[in-house]
Structure formats: structure tokens, C-alpha cells
């Protein structure tokens, strides 16, 4: 496991972005854990988060030149990741995001930030991957406006879930769009690394929590 993945697993529990208990998800499923990206709500935390996104992008696609963040949660992600990746690669990395409402005055339009060019190698950044529908909408919107295709989608945490039809959602997304999906870390990697491991003097993932997560994956994952 790469060093940045291990550091990210610890970062998730230190920031309380990864929580354990019983959580009812939008899908109706009851999950033993919940990823709450709104916990990255200070300058220091969002800066650290950007470092992990940048490390993963450098690992998967070092030729990346442009980051897109879908409104609204993706906006701070593309900004902080582009800032850090520019420093890591020692070259300018652009960023852009969309407005959900079309603006009719000032800088009119849907796109805010660096307008994509044909030569750009673009990556979409987001927090999690669920059914992929909003990401498909973003891909179609960007193609319609800018005529560029994304070279990848990067999310913070891969929940490794299948749809209610028993289909792996990421595989289905790849087949529909031709766009690969990466994650900084998967929930199983979190369990492997953090199981019974003290973080700041406390064990956040003990045997029971890891067992509950694994049982959840047995029911809702095809891996």
C-alpha cells in the first residue's frame, strides 16, 4: 500500500470524516460507517486533503493538466488539489467547475475557471462514488460546452458497492463513459491498514467494526 494511502486512512479518522455506527444511506441501505466530507471544513484540513488528491493524481495520471470539480462539493476539491499538484509537478495545473444556475450577467455561462482546451488532460475530482449519475451528467455537460473528454475520475473513498441490481457501479460507469475511476483509498484498504492500529492513542477500527464492514461488503459488493 502506498504511503499516501496509509496517511490518508489516518487522516480520515483523525478528522472524524470517517465515522462508525449505523447510518441509513440515500440508497436505503444501513451502513456501519459513513464518509462525511463536510468535516474537511478548515483551511488546514482542506489543504491536507488537497495533498492526498494530488498524490493520487500524480500516481495515476502525472500528465494531468486540468481538474474539474462538480458543484458544489467538488469546487473546493478541485481548487485545493490543483494548488498542491501545481507545486508537486512544478507546473501550472488549471481548475474549473460548473454553476448549477446559468448566470446571465458579468462572466456569463456555466463554466467558472480555466476554460478547457483541446490539449488539456482533464480529471474530475469528487468525494465519493455512488451510482455515478451526477458524474455522467458532468461528463455530458463538459463535452457539450467544451468538446473535451475526461481522462479519469478521482474520488476520495471507494465504498466498493454494487447497485441494487447487483452490478458494480464503477464498472458500469466505465462501460458507459469510457472514463476510468480511481480512489485515494478503498474502504477495504482502510480496514486492512487501520484494524487494531492506534491513531493518536486510540484504536478506531477494532475487530467488531472491521467485521461489520466486511459483512456489509459481503452483502453489497461483488468483490
pLDDT surpassing 80 at residue 103: no
Type and span of the H or E element at 4: helix 3-14
Q: What is the pLDDT of residue 59?
A: 96
pTM above 0.85, yes or no: yes
Q: Residues 51-69: what's their mean pLDDT?
A: 97
Report the mean per-residue pLDDT for the chain.
92
Let me know the angle formed at the C-alpha of 4 by 172 and 133, rounded to the nearest 5 degrees: 20
DSSP letter at 1 equals -
Q: What is the pLDDT of residue 100?
A: 75
Q: Say how many C-beta atoms besides its own lie within 10 A of residue 213's C-beta.
A: 21
pLDDT surpassing 80 at residue 199: yes
CA atoms of 13 and 34, how far apart (whole Å): 11
pLDDT surpassing 60 at residue 6: yes
Peptide bond just before 72 cis, omega within 30 deg? yes
Confidence of residue 148 (pLDDT cuts 50, 70, 90): very high
pLDDT surpassing 70 at residue 104: no
pLDDT surpassing 60 at residue 106: no
The string of pLDDT tens digits covering residues 161-189 is 887 777 888 998 999 999 999 999 999 99
In terms of pLDDT, which residue wins out, 85 or 133?
A: 85
pLDDT surpassing 60 at residue 28: yes
CA atoms of 137 and 88, how far apart (whole Å): 30
Phi, then psi, of 53 in degrees rounded to 5: -60, -45
- The residues pairing with 103 across neighbouring beta strands, listed in sequence order, are 109
Q: What is the pLDDT of residue 131?
A: 75
Confidence of residue 20 (pLDDT cuts 50, 70, 90): very high
> What residue ranges define each of the domains in the chain, with the CATH number in brackets?
40-181+208-220 (3.40.50.2020)
CA atoms of 153 and 132, how far apart (whole Å): 10
CA atoms of 68 and 77, how far apart (whole Å): 9
Residues assigned a catalytic role = 103, 105
Return all residues near 69 (Cβ < 8 A) that are at least 6 apart. Answer: 75, 76, 77, 78, 79, 95, 96, 97, 124, 125, 126
Type and span of the H or E element at 150: strand 150-158
Burial class (CB in 10 A: 0-12, 13-18, 19+), 223: exposed
Amino acid at each position: 500500500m502506498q504511503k499516501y494511502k496509509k496517511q490518508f486512512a489516518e487522516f480520515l479518522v483523525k478528522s472524524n470524516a470517517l465515522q462508525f455506527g449505523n447510518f441509513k444511506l440515500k440508497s436505503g441501505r444501513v451502513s456501519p460507517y459513513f464518509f462525511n466530507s463536510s468535516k474537511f471544513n478548515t483551511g488546514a484540513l482542506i489543504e491536507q486533503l488537497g495533498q492526498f488528491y494530488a498524490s493520487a493524481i500524480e500516481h495515476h495520471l502525472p500528465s494531468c493538466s486540468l481538474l474539474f470539480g462538480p458543484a458544489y462539493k467538488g469546487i473546493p476539491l478541485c481548487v485545493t488539489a490543483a494548488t498542491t499538484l501545481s507545486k508537486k509537478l512544478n507546473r501550472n495545473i488549471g481548475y474549473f467547475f460548473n454553476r448549477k444556475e446559468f448566470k446571465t450577467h458579468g462572466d456569463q455561462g456555466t463554466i467558472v475557471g480555466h476554460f478547457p482546451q483541446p490539449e488539456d488532460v482533464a480529471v474530475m475530482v469528487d468525494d465519493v462514488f455512488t451510482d455515478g449519475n451526477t458524474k455522467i451528467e458532468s461528463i455530458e455537460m463538459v463535452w457539450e460546452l467544451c468538446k473535451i473528454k475526461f481522462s479519469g475520475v478521482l474520488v476520495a473513498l471507494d465504498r466498493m458497492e454494487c447497485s441494487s441490481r447487483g452490478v458494480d457501479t464503477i464498472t458500469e460507469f466505465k462501460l458507459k463513459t469510457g472514463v476510468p475511476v480511481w480512489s485515494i483509498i478503498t474502504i477495504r484498504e482502510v480496514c486492512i491498514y487501520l484494524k487494531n492500529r492506534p491513531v493518536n492513542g486510540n484504536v478506531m477500527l477494532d475487530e467488531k467494526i472491521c467485521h461489520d464492514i466486511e459483512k456489509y461488503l459481503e452483502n453489497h459488493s461483488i468483490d
